[in-house]
Amino acid sequence: MIRNYGISLCLALILVACSNDSPAGADSSAAGDLQKPVQENVDVAETSDAKGPFEMPVADVFNITGQGVVITGRVTSGSISVGESVCIAGGSPVTIKGIEMMRETLESISAGDMGGLMLEGISKDDISKGDIVRSCG
């Protein structure tokens, strides 16, 4: 659930601590009051983001010798597949050579997922943390 909804580990621990299974004497009604708006916002964020064009802020950039440049980040909207092109900070299109998430090779990545994109046709110097990778067009 944490990975699918993009919930931080800290927030997850707070929600577990405030769950209805709290120790005797804890105010479990307050836990329900806290959990409901959080879950509603998580659901809204996931459904609205999935429909838009692909967008991912760059969290880190790596150069893998013999392979190319890999960028990591959390997809904030849309989805993208291997072989499609993306534009970085309004630059020229680059092709996605591979996608990986949690050490698993994938064919596509979508809103809410954290992963890495292996890019073809770009050097590490052409991209920085904080740049936005978007669908071209």
How does pLDDT run across 55-85, given as a tens digit for each residue? 999 999 999 988 899 999 999 999 999 999 9
> Is the backbone of residue 53 left (phi > 0), alpha (psi -120 to 50) or beta?
beta
Report CA 15 to chain centroid distance, whole Å.
21
What's 55-135's CATH class? mainly beta
Provide the residue ranges of all domains of the chain, joining segments of one domain with +: 2-49, 55-135
The string of pLDDT tens digits covering residues 115-134 is 999 999 899 999 999 999 99
Q: Match 């740049």 to its residue by tokens.
A: 131
DSSP string, 5-45: HT--HHHHHHHHHTSTTPPTTS-HHHHHHHHHHHHHHHHHH
Q: Determine the Cα–Cα distance for residues 57 and 39; give it in Å rounded to an integer.
A: 24
